[in-house]
Amino acid sequence: MTDSVRLEVPATLWSLPTIRMVVGGVGARFDLSLDELQDIYLAVEELFCAALDMDRNERYSVEVGILDDAVRIAAGTFESAGLWQRLVAKPSSPECLDLCQLLWRVLDTYSVEGAEGAFSVILVKQRQARV
């Protein structure tokens, strides 16, 4: 990533507005549309809300960066086996419900890096061509 911001926050609901502000700032600087920003906000918020329900970590890191034509968000490190299972399902499988479907629908891609017990989630949203 050429430009990025790395943030470490406590694993609490109180951290979500800070994460949202950083994501929004980088997205606005990258000239994302309001709809594109809303997609990213929704994906990040749902990922962290699911993590807060299932994970026991005390802190999370978030790195928001700009690729050539996309915003990339690396979130983690997560440890929950339940969260892992919700995220690694393929979009066509019956196991891909709620969080998995949401991420596939609002992002261009997402992936899980690492192994169950210590993994990060990479969220990518492409900037749409302007007419």
pLDDT digits (tens, 9 = 90+) for 15-65: 989 998 898 888 888 888 888 889 999 999 999 999 988 888 889 999 998
pTM of the model: 0.87
Contact in structure between 75 and 83 (CB atoms under 8 Å): no
Give the SS3 label for residue 86. Answer: helix
Contact in structure between 38 and 101 (CB atoms under 8 Å): no
Quote the CA–CA distance of 16 and 46 in Å, as a whole number: 10
pLDDT at 47: 93
Return all residues near 55 (Cβ < 8 A) that are at least 6 apart: 11, 78, 79, 80, 83
Nearest to 99 by CA among 118, 80, 126: 80
Q: Is the pLDDT of residue 130 over 70?
A: no
Nearest to 131 by CA among 33, 23, 4, 54: 33
Please report the domains of the chain, with CATH numbers, ordered by start residue.
3-126 (3.30.565.10)
